[in-house]
Amino acid sequence: MLATIAAVLVVMWLLGFFALHVSSFLIHLLLLFAVISIVMHFVRGRPRA
């Protein structure tokens, strides 16, 4: 689930940065949240059954 959220945030960041040419603080926050969620995904690992 975190990987999906991270992927969506990265895509939104890329669209905002390249397609819309927006370089505001909000776009960089999206990238930061995406990186944090990817790191959390790898730190937590797979849940044990």
Q: What is the pLDDT of residues 11-36, one digit of tens each?
A: 887 777 777 666 677 767 777 888 88
The residue among 24, 46, 39, 27 whose CA lies nearest residue 10 is 27
pLDDT for the residue numbered 35: 83
Residue 47 predicted with pLDDT over 70: no
22 φ, ψ to 5°?
Answer: -100, 125
Residues 6+ apart with CB under 8 A from 46: none
Q: What is the dihedral of CA 11, 8, 5, 7, to 10 degrees?
A: -50
Q: Rounded to an integer, what distance in angstroms lies between the CA atom of residue 1 and that of residue 20?
A: 27
**Pure H helices in the chain:** 2-14, 25-44
pTM for this model (two decimals): 0.52
